[in-house]
Amino acid sequence: MIIFKFNSVKVQINTNLARIQHLHLGKEQKVTINVLRLDLIHPIISGNKWYKLRFYLEEAINASFKEIATFGGAYSNHIVATACACNERNMRSVAFIRGEMTFPLTHTLQEAVSYGMQLCFLSRNDYKNKTDIIASNDLPYRYWIPEGGYGILGAQGAASILNTVPLQEYTHIIAAVGSGTMIAGLLNGSMAHQTVIGISSQKNNLSLESEILKLTFTENHRKLILMHDYHFGGFAKHPSELLHFMGDFWYNESIPTDLVYTSKLFFAVSDQLQKKYFNTGDKILVIHSGGLQGNKSLPEKSLPF
Ligand SMILES: *Cc1c(COP(=O)(O)O)cnc(C)c1O
C-alpha cells in the first residue's frame, strides 16, 4: 500500500455552466435533439459524477464524518470526481485503487492527487472484495462511497440532473451507462410520457438491467430500454472507427466527446436515427455526461479537440 499526499489546489464547481445545445443531427428526420452539456460544469469533474456524489457528501457532512473513502481503477472518472468534490466541500479523501501502482501515475490519478486525495493501491485480487477492504480500513471518521457511486443516494443525485431542464417537452431521455446509477436516477426523475434509453459502455453486461432496477421506483421499470450493441469491442475500447466518429461529431456539432461513454452514446443516437427508431416530432434529451479527462490517455493529436 502506498499513500500520496501533496498540497492541493482549490476547486470550485459551477453547475450553472451546463446548458442545452440544439443538434443539427436529426433535422433531416424532423427529430429534435437537445444535448444537456454537463461536460461544461468543470474541466475535470465534468458531467454526471458531481451529481451522483452530492447526496453522499451531504450525508457524510451532516453526520460529521471527516473523510470520504471510495474505490476505482486508475482511469476512473469517479475517482477524480470524488477527489474534486471532496476538495470543494473541504473533506479529506482517500481512494483504494485497483492494481499495483504504475509510474508515472495515470493523468487521472495525478489529477486526483493534485486535489489532495490519498491513494492506496491494491492488487487486483485484494481489490475484488470490497467488504474486506472496508473491514480492514474502516475508521470512525471515514465515510465510504460505493465504487462508481452506485447506490440509492447516487441515483437520487443523478435524478436532480433533470431539475435543470424543461423536462416535460421531451419524449425521450438518453444517456450512457456504466454502473447504471445515472440511468436509474434519470428513470426515477422522468415523467410518465417519456422513454429512457441507456447505452451500455460495456460488452455483454447482462446483470446491468437488474442492477439498475434495484435503484428504480417500480412504476418506472417498463420505461427503460438498454442498448448493448454500442460498446465498440468492450469497455474503454476505442477502435479508429470510433475516433473518426468523435472527430466528425466535433466538426458537425462542435461538441467534444470522451472515448469511454459519450462518443458511444452519440454514435448510438446517430445510428438509431438512421435506422428510423425515432418518429417525426420526437424531442430527445441526450445527457452529455462529460468524462473528457479520460481522453488524455490517448496519444497526442488523436483528436481534433
Ligand atoms: C461514470 C460515467 C457514466 C456512467 O454513469 P453510471 O452512473 O456509472 O452508469 C457516463 N458518462 C460518463 C462521462 C461517466 O464518467
| Per-residue pLDDT at 2 exceeds 60 | no
Give yes or no for residue 257 CB within 6 A of ligand 1: no
The pLDDT tens digits of the residues spanning 149-205 come to: 999 999 999 999 999 999 999 999 999 999 999 999 999 999 999 999 999 999 999
**pTM attached to this predicted model:** 0.95
The pLDDT tens digits of the residues spanning 97-135 come to: 999 999 899 999 999 999 999 999 999 999 999 999 999
Q: Are residues 206 and 127 in the same domain?
A: no
Give me 291's grid cell. Answer: 468524462
- pLDDT level of residue 4 (50, 70, 90 thresholds): low
Give me 151's grid cell. Answer: 447506490
Q: Are residues 162 and 260 in the same domain?
A: yes
Q: Are residues 145 and 179 in the same domain?
A: no
Query: How many domains does one find in the chain?
Result: 2
Confidence (pLDDT) at 246: 98
Q: Are residues 129 and 166 in the same domain?
A: no
Q: Are residues 257 and 168 in the same domain?
A: yes
Q: Are residues 102 and 179 in the same domain?
A: no
Q: Are residues 77 and 66 in the same domain?
A: yes
Q: In what order do the strands lie in the sheet with 118-122?
A: 118-122, 92-98, 67-72, 142-144
- Contact, 92 vs 68, CB < 8 A? yes
Minimum CA distance residue for ligand 1 atom 1: 178
**Residue 303 domain-assigned (yes or no):** no
User: In angstroms, what is the span from residue 176 Cα to ligand 1's centroid?
Assistant: 6
Give yes or no for residue 261 CB within 6 A of ligand 1: yes
Name the phi and psi angles at 254, rounded to 5: 55, 40
Q: Are residues 188 and 275 in the same domain?
A: yes
Q: Are residues 85 and 136 in the same domain?
A: yes
Q: How many CB atoms lie within 10 A of CB 63?
A: 8
Burial class from Cβ neighbours inside 10 Å (0-12, 13-18, 19+) for residue 126 reads middle
Distance CA 95, CA 104 (A): 17
CATH number for the domain spanning 106: value is: 3.40.50.1100
| Per-residue pLDDT at 219 exceeds 90 | no
Q: Which helix (H) or strand (E) holds 221?
A: none
**Residue 144 domain-assigned (yes or no):** yes
| Domain extent for 207 | 2-46+158-297
Distance CA 43, CA 240 (A): 25
**Residue 304 domain-assigned (yes or no):** no
**Residue 8 domain-assigned (yes or no):** yes
Q: Are residues 107 and 204 in the same domain?
A: no
- Contact, 245 vs 263, CB < 8 A? yes
**Residue 305 domain-assigned (yes or no):** no
**Grid cell 433535422 — which residue?**
27
**Residue 125 domain-assigned (yes or no):** yes
Minimum CA distance residue for ligand 1 atom 2: 178
Most confident of 107-111, 220-224, 253-257: 253-257
